[in-house]
Structure 1
Amino acid sequence: MRLNKLNKPEPLAKMAFNALRRSILNNELEIGTVYNEKSLAESLGISRTPVREALLELATKKLVRFLPQKGVVLNTFSEKDIDDVFEIRCALELFSIKKIWKNYKTLDMSSLEEHLATQKRAVKKGDRMAFMAADRLFHLGFTELTENEYLFNTMRDIRDVMHLMGYRALSLDQRMEEVVVEHEQIFHALASGDLGQAMEKMENHLETTKQAVLKTMPEIDLP
């Protein structure tokens, strides 16, 4: 008799990490609020040890930071942090465009069109969460098309940080509408094979987004 091996359940620390990461990306945890391991463990229904392991991993990814003798908070960022993140984003996203441009005639970019359509629907509904999710997928779509797993994973982590940085920027008047226009310009330039325009539009888009993020940086007084 031949049986398939059963899949082993994920370690509790990994499950806790995924659950807390989802809560951060869904805005269920608030910037400025101090959370402790005990309350988080109780909410998740597990012991404190895997929660602490999960928080340590989240801290290495710059999503939370520890306050000695108090707990953890969602990370906030300095102007230099924002400059540094956008510097990396610009390098990686321009590289992605340059790489996939070589095959633009045969490239299947339908997923990018779908994410654009989702963003347009989110704008009509005024749904920032749905818009942010589609924005994330649109930008990750370029790195996914490179078929470089390491590049994709790096961009995914950066996009997690960008959620904390960028969500408030979408509250600026007409910013969501502007982002859609900027995304369309990037997409159409790449689809038509105009590498110079695609890279220029992406660089301009990232600079405009950075300025919006800087303009809406939260001022948090932690206890």
Structure 2
Amino acid sequence: MTKLHGVAAIERPPTLARRAYLQIQQAIRDGAIRQEVRYSENELAETLGMSRTPVREALISLSREGVVEIESQRGFRLRTLSTEERREVFDLRSLLEPYVAGRLARHAADDDLAPLYELIDAQEKLGTSGQQSAFLALDERFHLLQSELAGLERTHATMVSLRGAMWLMGFEALALPQRHEAVIAEHRAIVDAIARHDPDAAAAAAHEHIARTAAAVL
């Protein structure tokens, strides 16, 4: 059967389950959903203005990602990550992200650098304003965009799967004094090395950033 060319796909709005997933994700980032608290699925659905079905689907997705635990009687709570799980997340990041930065340094075009620098500049504007949720959202986009720009689809999917754990640890990573400024400087060092097309320096800068973030959390 002949494939059609030049026919644009219809852009579909996100499903209710996807909308619920994103809103719950944001609530976790904002600290509105907290550790060691049991929540009601029915109350969450009412708060989101949705039926329980899409909220349940969203929670099942988050459960598969290791972010929440679904309990009997339609309740859920955020997972508490063990020290071993935390170390594993950072071990995986320390393997993947230097690889991504190094690959991007070899092949990045000038147009690839602008959105990365824009994300860093946006973080710098936020600074220590207290908008930690916005800062963390920019941080997530910075890390995931690199694998997108490098065209590393499987690596990108693996990195996405680790973000749920990072939502649970994100505020801890920013708790140390001057950590905001350090994150910005570390991000800039990664992109500067990519801009110089220096794979070794880019990988080293990414590795150093992950190591410092791990030290802040662990």
Same fold by TM-score, threshold 0.5 exceeded?
yes
> Does residue 211 in structure 1 map to residue 218 in structure 2?
no
Following superposition, which runs of at least 4 residues in structure 1 exceed 4 angstroms of deviation?
5-11
1:6, CA displacement in angstroms? 8.7
Partner of 1:219: none
Q: What letter corresponds to residue 193 of structure 2 in structure 1?
A: A
Distance across 2 between alignment mates of 1:149 and 1:140: 11
Write out per-residue CA displacement over residues 142-191 of structure 1, whole angstroms, 9 at most, x where no aligned residue.
11111233432332332232121121221211111111111122221221
The number of equivalent residue pairs is 210
> Does residue 172 in structure 1 map to residue 176 in structure 2?
yes
Note if contact 1:64-1:72 (Cα within 8 Å) is conserved in structure 2.
Answer: yes
Note if contact 1:25-1:160 (Cα within 8 Å) is conserved in structure 2.
Answer: no
Task: Answer with 145-154 or 129-138: which moved more.
Answer: 145-154
Distance across 1 between alignment mates of 2:75 and 2:121: 41
Distance across 1 between alignment mates of 2:183 and 2:43: 38
Relative contact order: is structure 1 or structure 2 higher (C-alpha 8 Å, sep ≥ 6)?
2
Partner of 1:91: 95
Aligned residues: CA RMSD: 2.4
Write out per-residue CA displacement over residues 102-153 of structure 1, whole angstroms, 9 at most, x where no aligned residue.
2246562101110111111111534322221221121112111112334323
Task: Answer with 11-20 or 75-84: which moved more.
Answer: 11-20
Task: Answer with 67-76 or 80-89: which moved more.
Answer: 67-76
Residues 86-125 of structure 1: matches in 2 within 5 Å? Answer: 86-104=90-108, 106=110, 108-123=112-127, 125=129
> Does residue 73 in structure 1 map to residue 77 in structure 2?
yes
Partner of 1:128: 132
Distance across 2 between alignment mates of 1:9 and 1:213: 37
Q: What letter corresponds to residue 13 of structure 1 in structure 2?
A: A
Structure 2 unpaired stretches of 5+: 1-8
Write out per-residue CA displacement over residues 28-48 of structure 1, whole angstroms, 9 at most, x where no aligned residue.
212222111221122233333
TM-score normalised to structure 2 length = 0.84
Residue aligned with 1:108, SS: helix
Partner of 2:199: 195
Partner of 2:18: 14
Write out per-residue CA displacement over residues 38-86 of structure 1, whole angstroms, 9 at most, x where no aligned residue.
2112223333333222211110011111234572111221111111111
Partner of 2:160: 156
Distance across 2 between alignment mates of 1:148 and 1:167: 28
Distance across 2 between alignment mates of 1:38 and 1:152: 34
TM-score normalised to structure 1 length = 0.83
Residue aligned with 1:73, SS: strand
Note if contact 2:106-2:199 (Cα within 8 Å) is conserved in structure 1.
Answer: no
Distance across 2 between alignment mates of 1:87 and 1:160: 15
Partner of 1:138: 142
Distance across 2 between alignment mates of 1:141 and 1:22: 19
Distance across 1 between alignment mates of 2:53 and 2:136: 32
Distance across 1 between alignment mates of 2:67 and 2:159: 14
